[in-house]
């Protein structure tokens, strides 16, 4: 059923607009007299605001797209991305002394080397003299004539002879070298080394032996035979120089 329309009394009902009364649940049937309803307050969420976050993301996307698009608009087809180079310094551990490519060089003094050579030469002189001892004893027992080619103790100074180094001082290495030179030079006699302390008067110099080099030959039957042989063997020597090099002796 319709409700009474609120138009003025003087208005013709035929000209009044047709209006359906509001539903029964509305307390006020006069719509013209309704007051605007108060806006409903929405409860805010306790979380972060969604719209500002979305707007910020969209703005960032616009900036990124613009940054990538500007080089293309300017004519450059390549976007240069700065490269950050990270440098790491590695400290190496100290090299072990046991693994060095290279060990330290040890310098041996010349005097030490000379001392070792002297010892070896002296040992060879003693060994050689011991090996010749039988021949020496036989010559002594037979009272043979021999040619004494050298008689030197270690450290002697001979003003008439020189070593291979040009010195007048003879050490063990020089005496051994002289023996080897004489034994290789003389083909018609046997050259032996004798320790002066092992035969005759057994002489020495401050306890040091005279290393005597003796030439033995069946042809040495007399003093003159030995003198003649010395002259033939050392033709470049005469006088004192010859007798200093080659001297007749009889045991």
pLDDT value for 102: 38
Inter-residue contact 250 to 223 (CB < 8 Å): yes
Distance from C-alpha of 84 to C-alpha of 82, rounded to nearest angstrom: 6
Which residues fall within 8 angstroms of residue 77, CB to CB, at 6 or more apart?
A: 71
DSSP result, 33-87: GPPPPPPPPPPPPSS--HHHHHHHHHHHHHHHHHHHHHHHHTT--------PPP-
Residue 163 tokens, joined: 């070593």
Q: What is the 3-state secondary structure (H, E, C) of 21-43?
A: CCCCCCCCCCHHHCCCCCCCCCC
pLDDT tens for each residue of the chain, 251 residues long: 444 444 444 444 444 444 444 445 555 555 555 455 555 444 554 555 555 555 566 666 555 555 555 445 444 444 444 444 444 444 544 444 444 443 333 333 333 445 589 999 999 999 999 999 999 999 999 999 999 999 999 999 999 899 989 999 999 999 999 999 999 999 999 999 999 999 999 999 999 999 999 999 999 999 999 999 999 999 999 999 999 999 999 99
71 φ/ψ sector (left φ>0, alpha ψ -120 to 50, else beta): alpha
Helix (H/G/I), strand (E/B), else coil: 19: coil
pLDDT value for 201: 93
């Amino acid at each position: 059923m319709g409700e009474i329309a609120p138009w003025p009394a003087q208005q013709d009902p035929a000209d009044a607009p047709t209006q359906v009364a509001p539903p029964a649940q509305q307390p006020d049937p006069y719509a013209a007299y309704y007051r605007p309803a108060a806006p409903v307050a929405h409860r805010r969420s306790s979380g972060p605001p969604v719209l500002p976050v979305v707007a910020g993301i969209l703005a960032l996307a616009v900036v990124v797209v613009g940054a990538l698009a500007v080089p293309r608009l300017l004519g450059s087809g390549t976007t240069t991305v700065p490269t950050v180079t990270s440098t790491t310094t590695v400290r190496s551990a100290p090299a072990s002394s046991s693994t060095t490519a290279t060990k330290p060089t040890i310098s041996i003094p010349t005097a030490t080397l000379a001392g070792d050579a002297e010892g070896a030469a002296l040992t060879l002189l003693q060994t050689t003299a011991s090996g010749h001892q039988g021949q020496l004893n036989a010559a002594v027992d037979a009272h043979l004539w021999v040619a004494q080619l050298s008689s030197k103790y270690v450290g002697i100074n001979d003003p008439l002879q020189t070593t291979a180094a040009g010195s007048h001082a003879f050490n063990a290495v020089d005496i051994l070298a002289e023996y080897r030179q004489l034994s290789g030079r003389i083909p018609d006699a046997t050259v032996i080394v004798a320790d002066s302390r092992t035969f005759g008067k057994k002489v020495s110099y401050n306890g040091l032996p005279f290393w005597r080099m003796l030439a033995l030959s069946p042809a040495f039957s007399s003093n003159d035979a030995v003198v003649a042989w010395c002259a033939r063997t050392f033709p470049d020597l005469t006088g004192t120089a010859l007798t200093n090099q080659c001297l007749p002796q009889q045991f």
